[in-house]
Chains A and B, each alone.
Chain A
Amino acid sequence: MTTELPADIQSPSSETQIDKPSSNWLPPGLALQKVDERIMTLNVGPQHPGSGHMRLIVQIDGDYIVACDPDPGYVHRGEEKMAEYRNYITNIPHLERPVIHDSCNILYPYVLGVEELLGIEVPERAKYVRVIAAELNRCIYIMYWLAIYGIFLGHSTMFMWPTGDRELLIDLMEKMTGARVTHSHFIPGGVRNDLPANFEEVCLRQVNYFEKRIKEYAAVFYDNPILISRTQNTGVLSRQDAIRLGVTGSVLRASGIDFDVRKKEPYDVYDELDIQSIVMKEGDAYARSKIPWLDMMDSCNIIRQALQKMPKSGSVRVKLKPNPKGKGFDTVYKRVESGRGSLGCYIVSDGKPEPYRLKLSVPSFRNLIALPYLLKGELLGNMPSVYWSLNYWPVEADR
C-alpha cells in the first residue's frame, strides 16, 4: 500500500506556512504566524466545553474552517513507561486508566498477550465471561460517547437518557466484578471472580430492557430531521482516504470497509458467536454516529448468544505462580475490537517478571489523525459533530 496521501488531501498547515527561525521554536498555537488578515485563530480547548482534554487550533475564515491542528497530550500519564516497573499482575489496575469506562476492552489485548507469553490455557467458561464483560463494557462506553455526542449537538435530552440508561449495565458490571467503573476484572489466566448466583437471568433481563430503551433513541435523535440536516454530508471520509489515513473501528466501517477484529481475527470465543459488523457506505458524520448505536444492538445479541452457549459450571481462572515470568526474550502482539476500534498491545519480554517494553496502539489516536482532513472547508458549526463522530477519547490517545 502506498503511503502518500491523495492529491486533494494535503497537510492542513501547508497553506498557512509558518515562517519561523528554527532556533526560536515555540509550541504550535503560541508561535506567531504570518496569516491572512481575514483569518481568525481559535484555541478550542483545553478549557472549552466542546474540546475534551485537548486543544484544537482552528483557523477560520468567516464561518469556514481553513485549517485545524489537533494538539493532544494534555493528559499524558506515561502508562507505557509505568508498565516497565510493575510485574504482569500489578500492571492490570493502571493499564485500564486511559479509558476507565471501557476498562475491560483496554485490558483485553494485554491479558491475551501475557497469556501467550506465559503459556497459559484459559478455561472455557472464563472465555465466555470475558466476552460478556467486554460486550457490556462496549455498550457502557458507547452510551457515554453518545451522551457527549448529544450534548455537543445541543440535544440535552440525548445527554440525560444515555447517562441514565447506562446505569443498567453499570449495575450489571458491579454485580459481576464488584466495581462500577474500573473493574480490573481480566487477569492472565481468566477472570478474577466467577459470576454471582443468578447472574444469567438478571443479565438477560437487563440487556433485553436496555435494547428496548436504546431503540427509542431513534425517535428522539437518529430520525430527527434537524440532526440529519446537520450531520449528513458533513465531514465525508471516502473509502480510499479511510484506508490511507489508517482509521479504525466505527469510523472505518462508516466509510464502507468491513473490518472488525472480532470477525477477522477472532480471539477467545468470538469465532463461535454470530457477529454482524455493521457497515455503512456514506462516510459522513451521520453514518459515523449511527454505527456505534447499531453496534450496541449487536452487542446485546452477542451477550444473549454467549449466555446461552456458556458452560454452566467450571473454573474461571488458572492459578498462577507469584511473580510469573516469560521464557527468555519474546515478543507478542495482540489486538481486540474495543468500543472505538482495533486496540493493540505489543509486549516485549526479556525473561523478567516485568515487561521489557509495553506499547499500546490505541484507536483514538489513529482516528484523530483524520480530523484535520475532515474539518478543512467545513463550517464552524460542524466542528463538534465531526470531531466527536470520530469516536475519539482524548485520555486514551495520550495514554
Chain B
Amino acid sequence: MSVIAPKFKLSGFIQSLLDNIFWILLLFVLIGLPAVFMILIVIPLPVLDGELLTPFLALSFLANPTRILPVIHAFMTTDIFRVMAFPGFGFAALLAASVIFAERKMMAKLQLRVGPFYCGKFEGILQLMGDGLKLMSKEIIIPAKADKPIFWAAPVLFVATAAAFVALIPVAPGWVVADIDLGLLAVFAVIGFFPIITILSAWSANSKYPFIGGIRALFQMVSFEIPLILSLLGVVMVTGTLNLSEITASQSNFPWIIFLPIGAIVFFITMLAELERIPFDLPEAESEIVAGWLTELSGMLYGLVQFGSYLKLYAFAALFVVLFLGGWNGPMIVPAIPEQILTEGIEMGPITLTVDGLQSLLGNTITQEMLNGTLWFVLKTAGVIFFIILPRGVFPRVRVDILLNLGWTKLIGLCFINIFIALGLLYAGVLGPGGLQ
C-alpha cells in the first residue's frame, strides 16, 4: 500500500476514469453535437466539389483539413461568429478575464505581496477559473422581502448591457458587430442603462445598505454622464461623424489625443467614475456601506455583476482607444503570409501538402490588415487598462460632496475648453479639409 495515498484502490481508480469518460461522452452527445449542428444550420452552406455541404456530410469532413477549411471560413463570415466569438462577446470576455488576472498581479506587486500563486502551474493563472467555480457552486440567497423578479433580472441585464456596449466597438477594419452610423450615440444610450439597472438591483433588494449604495451610484453616474458626453463632442466635431469605424479610420495619421488632450483627460476621469473604480468607488465603499448595491447579491448573481463590470471596463478602455488613440491604426508589424504557401502549398521534405481553402480564408477573412489591427488594438487597450487599474494602488476613496463638485463644476468647465480648442483647430484649418488630417 502506498504511503502517499493510503486509501488507493485500483478498482476505485478505474471506476473514476470510467466515470469521467461517461461524463465526457454525455456532454459531447448532449451539448457538442447539437452545437455543431446548429452552427451548420445557421451558416450559408458552401458547395464543395459540385455537391451541397450538408451537416451530415460536414461530420465526415472532420478528419480532412482541406475539406473543413471552407466550413470554418463560411462560419467566420456569419453574424453568429461575430457576436459570439471574435469582435464580440468571446473576445471581450477573454480580455476581461485577463484584465482581472493582470489587476490582481499588478496590485500584488505594488503592495509588496505575491498575489494569486498556487492555482495553475504559472503564477496562479487559473485563479479566476477557481473563483468562478466557487461562485457557481455557492448558494444564491435572496432577501425575504426582495422584489424577486427584478432582483434576479438585474445582474443578467447588467451583463447584457455590458455586452451590448462591447458590440459597438470596432476592433479591426471591418470587424465590428454592429457597424451603425450613429455608433457614438448608441454608446451614450447604452451607458445610460447602467444607472437604471443599478438602482433597480439596489431598490429591489429592499435592504438599507444596497439602497444607499444604489442612490450613490445613481448620483455618480448621472452627474458624470454629462462631462462624459461633452468630452467626446470635440472628437465628433473634428471628425464630423458618429460612426466609430469612421472615427477610427480618420486617425490614420495622428490620434486625436495629440490635438484634444483635455478631452482625453476628462474622458478618462469620467470613465473611472462610470466604472466605479477607485478613487470613485463610492457605491461599493466597504467601510461605510458594506458592499454598497452589491451587498445582498450572492453566488453567481454577484459573479455576473463582477463579470459585467469587467466587460464594461474593457469596453470603456476600448472606447478610449477608438476615440483618442487611433484604434487599430499602427505600423504594419505582422509579416505577410508567403504567397508560396497559398498557391503551391507547404513543402515538407519530399511531401507537398496543399490546402485548398487556405487562400480564400487568408485572403478574405483573416487578412494581414485584420491581424495587425487587432494586435495594435489589443496593445493599446492593455495600456489604457493599466492606467485604469493604477489609481487603485495609490488613491483612497473620495467623498460624495467632493465627487459631485468635481463632476458638475471642474470637469464640465474643462469640457467646454476642449470644445473651444476643437473649434479653434477647425477654423484655423489645422484639421478638416486641406489640413493635417
With A and B bound together, what is the CA distance between A40 and B209 in angstroms? 11
With A and B bound together, what is the CA distance between A49 and B281 in angstroms? 16
Is A81's beta carbon under 8 Å from chain B? no
* Cβ–Cβ contact B398 & A379, under 8 A: no
* Cβ–Cβ contact B288 & A155, under 8 A: no
* Cβ–Cβ contact A49 & B393, under 8 A: no
Over the window 292-313 of chain B, the binary record of Cβ atoms lying under 8 Å from chain A Cβ atoms (1 yes, 0 no) is 0000000000000000000000
Is A10's beta carbon under 8 Å from chain B? no
Instruction: Please give, as numbers and ranges, the residues of chain A lying within 8 Å of B342 by CB-CB distance.
Output: none
Instruction: Please give, as numbers and ranges, the residues of chain A lying within 8 Å of B208 by CB-CB distance.
Output: 40, 42
Q: In the assembled complex, how far is the CB of residue B122 from the closest CB belonging to chain A, in whole angstroms?
A: 23
With A and B bound together, what is the CA distance between A230 and B397 in angstroms? 8
Which stretch of B107-115, B224-232, B259-267 is in the interface? B107-115
With A and B bound together, what is the CA distance between A227 and B402 in angstroms? 12
Is B258's beta carbon under 8 Å from chain A? no
* Cβ–Cβ contact A224 & B282, under 8 A: no
Residue of A nearest to B211 (CB): A40
Instruction: Please give, as numbers and ranges, the residues of chain A lying within 8 Å of B278 by CB-CB distance.
Output: 154, 156
* Cβ–Cβ contact B287 & A151, under 8 A: yes
* Cβ–Cβ contact B111 & A157, under 8 A: yes
Residue of A nearest to B402 (CB): A229
* Cβ–Cβ contact B394 & A220, under 8 A: yes
With A and B bound together, what is the CA distance between A319 and B112 in angstroms? 46
Which stretch of A122-130, A256-264, A380-388 is in the interface? A380-388
Is B399's beta carbon under 8 Å from chain A? yes
Residue of A nearest to B282 (CB): A381
**Central interface residue in B112, B278, B399, by most chain A CB within 10 Å:** B399
Could you tell me which residues of chain A, from 145 to 176, have a CB within 8 Å of some CB in chain B?
150-161, 164
Residue of A nearest to B215 (CB): A63
With A and B bound together, what is the CA distance between A224 and B394 in angstroms? 8
Is B34's beta carbon under 8 Å from chain A? no
With A and B bound together, what is the CA distance between A220 and B393 in angstroms? 9
Q: In the assembled complex, how far is the CB of residue A216 from the closest CB belonging to chain B, in whole angstroms?
A: 11
Over the window 94-106 of chain A, the binary record of Cβ atoms lying under 8 Å from chain B Cβ atoms (1 yes, 0 no) is 0000000000000
Q: In the assembled complex, how far is the CB of residue B104 from the closest CB belonging to chain A, in whole angstroms?
A: 12
* Cβ–Cβ contact B396 & A48, under 8 A: no
Could you tell me which residues of chain A, from 190 to 222, have a CB within 8 Å of some CB in chain B?
220-221
* Cβ–Cβ contact A161 & B287, under 8 A: no
Is A226's beta carbon under 8 Å from chain B? yes
* Cβ–Cβ contact A381 & B111, under 8 A: no
Q: In the assembled complex, how far is the CB of residue B409 from the closest CB belonging to chain A, in whole angstroms?
A: 14
* Cβ–Cβ contact A229 & B112, under 8 A: no
* Cβ–Cβ contact B287 & A230, under 8 A: no
Is B395's beta carbon under 8 Å from chain A? yes
* Cβ–Cβ contact B400 & A63, under 8 A: yes
With A and B bound together, what is the CA distance between A380 and B211 in angstroms? 14
Residue of B107, B113, B212, B396 touching A230 (CB-CB under 8 A): B396
Knowing A42-B208, A49-B290, A380-B288, say if A156 contacts B111 (CB, 8 Å). yes
Describe B's contact surface by its main secondary structure: helix
Over the window 267-310 of chain A, the binary record of Cβ atoms lying under 8 Å from chain B Cβ atoms (1 yes, 0 no) is 00000000000000000000000000000000000000000000
Instruction: Please give, as numbers and ranges, the residues of chain B lying within 8 Å of A164 by CB-CB distance.
Output: 111-113
With A and B bound together, what is the CA distance between A300 and B307 in angstroms? 47
Over the window 371-414 of chain B, the binary record of Cβ atoms lying under 8 Å from chain A Cβ atoms (1 yes, 0 no) is 00000000000000000000011111111111000000000000
With A and B bound together, what is the CA distance between A157 and B27 in angstroms? 45
Instruction: Please give, as numbers and ranges, the residues of chain B lying within 8 Å of A151 by CB-CB distance.
Output: 286-287
Residue of B nearest to A44 (CB): B288
Q: In the assembled complex, how far is the CB of residue A293 from the closest CB belonging to chain B, in whole angstroms?
A: 15
Is A344's beta carbon under 8 Å from chain B? no
Residue of A nearest to B405 (CB): A229
* Cβ–Cβ contact B399 & A382, under 8 A: yes
With A and B bound together, what is the CA distance between A381 and B283 in angstroms? 11
Q: How many of chain B's residues touch chain A, expressed as a range?
A: 20 to 34
Knowing A226-B279, A381-B288, A383-B288, say if A154 contacts B396 (CB, 8 Å). yes
Is B285's beta carbon under 8 Å from chain A? yes
Q: In the assembled complex, how far is the CB of residue B187 from the closest CB belonging to chain A, in whole angstroms?
A: 29
* Cβ–Cβ contact A384 & B112, under 8 A: no
* Cβ–Cβ contact B392 & A224, under 8 A: no
Could you tell me which residues of chain A, from 356 to 399, have a CB within 8 Å of some CB in chain B?
379-384
Is A113's beta carbon under 8 Å from chain B? no
Is A50's beta carbon under 8 Å from chain B? yes
With A and B bound together, what is the CA distance between A382 and B397 in angstroms? 11
With A and B bound together, what is the CA distance between A103 and B392 in angstroms? 34
* Cβ–Cβ contact A50 & B393, under 8 A: no
Q: In the assembled complex, how far is the CB of residue A145 from the closest CB belonging to chain B, in whole angstroms?
A: 14
* Cβ–Cβ contact A155 & B396, under 8 A: yes
* Cβ–Cβ contact B286 & A49, under 8 A: yes
Residue of A nearest to B278 (CB): A154
Knowing A160-B112, A379-B400, say if A224 contacts B286 (CB, 8 Å). no
* Cβ–Cβ contact B396 & A227, under 8 A: yes
With A and B bound together, what is the CA distance between A138 and B110 in angstroms? 27
Residue of B111, B395, B400 touching A160 (CB-CB under 8 A): B111
Q: In the assembled complex, how far is the CB of residue B193 from the closest CB belonging to chain A, in whole angstroms?
A: 25
* Cβ–Cβ contact A226 & B395, under 8 A: yes
Residue of B nearest to A229 (CB): B402
* Cβ–Cβ contact B290 & A224, under 8 A: no
Q: In the assembled complex, how far is the CB of residue A212 from the closest CB belonging to chain B, in whole angstroms?
A: 15
* Cβ–Cβ contact A384 & B279, under 8 A: no
Knowing A154-B278, A156-B107, A381-B399, say if A161 contacts B286 (CB, 8 Å). no
Residue of B nearest to A230 (CB): B399
Over the window 48-71 of chain B, the binary record of Cβ atoms lying under 8 Å from chain A Cβ atoms (1 yes, 0 no) is 000000000000000000000000
* Cβ–Cβ contact B111 & A49, under 8 A: no
* Cβ–Cβ contact A154 & B112, under 8 A: no
Residue of B nearest to A383 (CB): B288
* Cβ–Cβ contact B398 & A224, under 8 A: no
Q: In the assembled complex, how far is the CB of residue B208 from the closest CB belonging to chain A, in whole angstroms?
A: 6
Instruction: Please give, as numbers and ranges, the residues of chain A lying within 8 Å of B110 by CB-CB distance.
Output: 157
**Central interface residue in B107, B112, B392, B397, by most chain A CB within 10 Å:** B397
With A and B bound together, what is the CA distance between A161 and B113 in angstroms? 9
Q: In the assembled complex, how far is the CB of residue A288 from the closest CB belonging to chain B, in whole angstroms?
A: 16
Residue of A48, A154, A160, A221 touching B290 (CB-CB under 8 A): A48
Q: In the assembled complex, how far is the CB of residue B16 from the closest CB belonging to chain A, in whole angstroms?
A: 41
Over the window 72-96 of chain A, the binary record of Cβ atoms lying under 8 Å from chain B Cβ atoms (1 yes, 0 no) is 0000000000000000000000000
Residue of B nearest to A42 (CB): B208
Could you tell me which residues of chain A, from 170 to 188, have a CB within 8 Å of some CB in chain B?
none
With A and B bound together, what is the CA distance between A160 and B111 in angstroms? 6
Instruction: Please give, as numbers and ranges, the residues of chain B lying within 8 Å of A154 by CB-CB distance.
Output: 278-279, 281, 285-287, 396-397
Task: Please name 16 further chain A to chain B contacts, defined as beta carbons within 8 Å, in addition to the given A40-B208, A49-B286, A224-B396, sorted by A numbering.
Answer: A42-B208, A48-B290, A151-B287, A154-B278, A154-B285, A154-B396, A155-B396, A155-B397, A157-B110, A157-B394, A220-B394, A221-B396, A226-B398, A227-B396, A380-B212, A381-B285
A-B contact pairs, 26 of them (CB 8 A): A48-B290, A50-B287, A63-B400, A151-B286, A151-B287, A152-B287, A154-B278, A154-B279, A154-B281, A154-B287, A155-B396, A156-B111, A156-B278, A157-B394, A159-B111, A160-B112, A160-B113, A226-B397, A229-B398, A229-B399, A229-B402, A379-B401, A381-B288, A381-B397, A381-B399, A384-B287
Top 6 nearest A-B pairs (CB, nearest first) are A50-B287, A154-B397, A160-B111, A155-B396, A153-B396, A384-B287
